[in-house]
Amino acid sequence: MIQSLQQQDFSPTTIQWKPPKTAGADDFTNELELAAGSTAATAKVSQPADANSGEELGDPDVQDWLNSFYTQQAALNLPGDQAMGLNATVSYEPASGAPDLYSPDSMYGPDQIYQQALANQVGNQFATLSGANAADLTGQLPGIPTVQAQQAFDNWLAQTNAQRLASGQAIDTSAYWSDPGPVTLDGVTYTSAQLGYCGPGQSSGPEPIYIAANNQVGTNTFTVPGYSGTVTGIQPNRYYTLQQLEAAGLKAGQPNAQLNPGSWSETESA
């Protein structure tokens, strides 16, 4: 189904997305204490994200995000996208009969709706080209999960980013549902702003770039996924900002190949 589809490497199109963070994953099981009988709101309905801040979670404009995504892809001049015919006009809607992959108590972030939209585009386009059943290759767009699931995701992301900061790495810029509050790790307290929170449903910027050990091409020399050239003087198996990699020798001014998680509209309550 589409969840396994999402986790595959679609290298011909270089589309990148993160698999959904669901309550079924072992890493998240202890984070969730689910309320019986709770239901999810739809993704199009605004609801308070932080009662103390006065901010409200707006709506996800999926088409606008896809427009931006493919504008970025066009700048990268990727032949795989053109060969498969993927563009912002390909339907991101689930096919009739497609399953609902996200229960109300599933744990995922606000940007998962954009990742599912991308997966649906791939599924719909593959079905068009191959004659396969699109219902088997697409899934319903996720709505807003329960408060418990939102809090579990926010706590997981905050803890992850605290660990990143403690080890000197760039943070995951995915959006939070609401303010996670400060996190103290090994005696050091990180504020929610340091942990990447900048408003409900708001991504704090493009995702960092992961340099793996298999990116090494010489003595202390590494390639950078999505970019031309190499960097030196860094450690592998770590996350870096583009600016850090440019300081390590990557040529500046190249088309942006970083994934932008996406943000929901943001409104101020009266």
pLDDT in tens, 102-146: 998 999 999 999 999 999 999 999 999 999 999 999 999 999 999
Last residue of a domain, one of 114, 136, 158: 136
Q: Say which residue, 81 or 25, is predicted with more confidence.
A: 81
Rounded distance between C-alpha atoms, residue 143 and residue 40, angstroms: 6
3-state secondary structure of 219: coil
pLDDT at 14: 34
Mean pLDDT of 71-87: 76
Nearest to 184, CA basis, from 159, 206, 201: 159
Q: Give the amino acid at 154.
A: D
pLDDT in tens, 202-237: 999 999 999 999 999 999 999 999 999 999 999 999
pLDDT at 85: 84
Residue 261 lies in a domain: no
Residue 252 lies in a domain: no
pLDDT in tens, 156-181: 999 999 999 999 999 999 999 999 99
pLDDT in tens, 6-35: 333 333 233 333 334 433 333 333 333 332
Is there a contact between 208 and 238 (Cβ–Cβ < 8 Å)? no
* 240 and 152 within one domain: no
* 199 and 171 within one domain: yes
Residue 267 lies in a domain: no
Residue 255 lies in a domain: no
What sign has the CA pseudo-torsion 36, 182, 244, 254?
positive
Count of Cβ atoms closer than 10 Å to residue 269 Cβ: 12
pTM over 0.95: no
Residue 43 lies in a domain: no
As a whole-number percent, the residues of the chain with pLDDT over 70 amount to: 76
* 98 and 122 within one domain: yes
Query: How many domains does the chain fold into?
Result: 3
Range of the domain at 155: 147-204
Residue 37 lies in a domain: no
3-state secondary structure 148-200: HHHHHHHHHHHHHHHHHHHCCCCCCCCCCCCCCCCEEECCEEECCCCCCCCCC
* 167 and 240 within one domain: no
What sign has the CA pseudo-torsion 86, 70, 175, 142?
negative
- Please give the span between the terminal C-alpha atoms of the chain, in angstroms, as a whole number: 43
Residue 38 lies in a domain: no
pLDDT at 74: 85
* 214 and 200 within one domain: no
